[in-house]
Structure 1
């Protein structure tokens, strides 16, 4: 019988998480470390990355590295450094993103460039930088961060959504290109998650409740719930999954608007 516990075991694996200082990236790094991986915690916030690494070091091994996730040269250098030090890179995760919430007519060109440079171009650099060594070694799992905004929208999120849709398509294309080398490429699509970035929105009860009502659970998600999904995609338990965007959205994109509140549990006759 298949040892299913072993499929989730990441002992002996080397993982890189860009955006590991906080939020979803921090949760992803912790999840990977909890399953036994050696985790390189990379972030522009080096103090936050060190704090994450320190937490992981209580159960596994980790180190912290400072990086600008919008800088292609720094991403390439990170991948090269990890391969030089660890000989292989088994898992690579990237979570940083920028959202400037404005109507398209109000966007400046500079704001558009900022969003696209980090979200879309940053992911492009990430895929290439870690895809190369994984292709050469003949194995690996790459996980990018898209969003449920890739498939559903509201006013003021058009540019952000376009970047996240682009990530989903780029992941599909890259999965096809590196699949013959036994490299898997996937994305996650979270909905509203409780992080530092969403804290100002959470403080407004009216907005919190409206967004919560879009999910089938009537609540926001936790970073750990996304981190667990990332750990699954990183593991051998997901060995036949590639080119996918995994929704971690509390059912938001599965239902047409907020639930109706119907409460009858009697079976239909």
Structure 2
């Protein structure tokens, strides 16, 4: 019996060779996502509001850099038309204002919802339209564990991340007949510059570390496997799902371990 492993389709199940990916939000976690997509064979277009961030990440993956403010609906629609056939779209861009509800301003509310929710809708609509017309594609939107569980000071952020999950589900249903898959990734606590405020407070940092089942924070690189999976043929029958990459955060009821 011939043992030719090159004919085994499972060897290439996660490969993205020949795929064109657009990554919106190219810094922090986005940079690691770009590296992972490129490592699996995709050509990555790195889009970011900061053109230098886009250029640096694009250079790291031999990709293309695009300056894009996703809160500008016209710019997003233009990008969806001008970037050619897109096989994979990953949206990581988001913002947060950590304040209690009674202290929130209208401007802060509009800023957080404008990026995290309205821009998510615009990206899904604009890039989804082109994918539906072509009859293929995979979209991955970053949500958060805050889409499921909350804490004081996270009202608007949590609402937008829950909203993003529902947008993903709806897009999956509406785009599915055309062969387009739409999914979300929900990270837990991640070591990035955006969490410096928490890391500067040891009690706060340790409380987050011990909340999950693994007892630690994640690194940005640990989120990339879920993205590659959802983008690849390994997830050909996965759509409308939210993959929690949270170290067991949403699996644990409270931070107290009772004596047993």
* TM-score for the superposition, normalised by structure 2: 0.94
Deviations 1:162-192 (A, max 9, x none): 0000000111011000000000000110011
- Could you say which residue in structure 2 is the equivalent of 1:234? 231
Distance 2:236 2:256 in 1: 35
Distance 2:13 2:196 in 1: 35
- Could you say which residue in structure 2 is the equivalent of 1:169? 166
CA contact (8 A) 1:189 1:245 kept: yes
What are the ranges of 5 or more consecutive residues in structure 2 without an aligned counterpart?
A: 1-6
- Could you say which residue in structure 2 is the equivalent of 1:8? 14
Instruction: Return the offset for 1:259.
Output: 5.7
Which of 39, 55, 60 aligns to 1:55? It is: 60
Q: Which moved more, 1:8-17 or 1:44-53?
A: 44-53
- Could you say which residue in structure 2 is the equivalent of 1:79? 80
Q: Which moved more, 1:248-257 or 1:197-206?
A: 197-206
Instruction: Return the offset for 1:10.
Output: 0.5
Distance 1:202 1:69 in 2: 29
Instruction: Return the offset for 1:38.
Output: 0.6
Question: Are residues 1:138 and 2:103 paired?
Answer: no
Deviations 1:179-207 (A, max 9, x none): 00000000110011111111232122211
Question: Are residues 1:41 and 2:46 paired?
Answer: yes
Distance 1:81 1:202 in 2: 40
- SS in structure 1 opposite 2:226? helix
- Could you say which residue in structure 2 is the equivalent of 1:202? 199
Segments of 4+ moved more than 6 angstroms: none
CA contact (8 A) 1:184 1:243 kept: yes
Q: How does 1:77-156 map to 2 (within 5 A)?
A: 77-83=78-84, 88-156=85-153
- SS in structure 2 opposite 1:188? strand
Instruction: Return the offset for 1:5.
Output: 2.5
Question: Are residues 1:27 and 2:42 paired?
Answer: no
- SS in structure 2 opposite 1:198? helix
Instruction: Return the offset for 1:152.
Output: 0.4
- Could you say which residue in structure 2 is the equivalent of 1:69? 70
Instruction: Return the offset for 1:6.
Output: 0.9
Distance 1:72 1:5 in 2: 40
Instruction: Return the offset for 1:231.
Output: 1.1
- SS in structure 1 opposite 2:194? coil
CA contact (8 A) 1:190 1:248 kept: yes
* TM-score for the superposition, normalised by structure 1: 0.91
- Structure 1 pair 259–79 and aligned structure 2 pair: CA distance change class (3 A): farther
Distance 1:123 1:91 in 2: 15
Instruction: Return the offset for 1:63.
Output: 0.8
Distance 2:29 2:60 in 1: 15
What are the ranges of 5 or more consecutive residues in structure 1 without an aligned counterpart?
A: 265-269
CA RMSD of aligned residues (A): 1.4
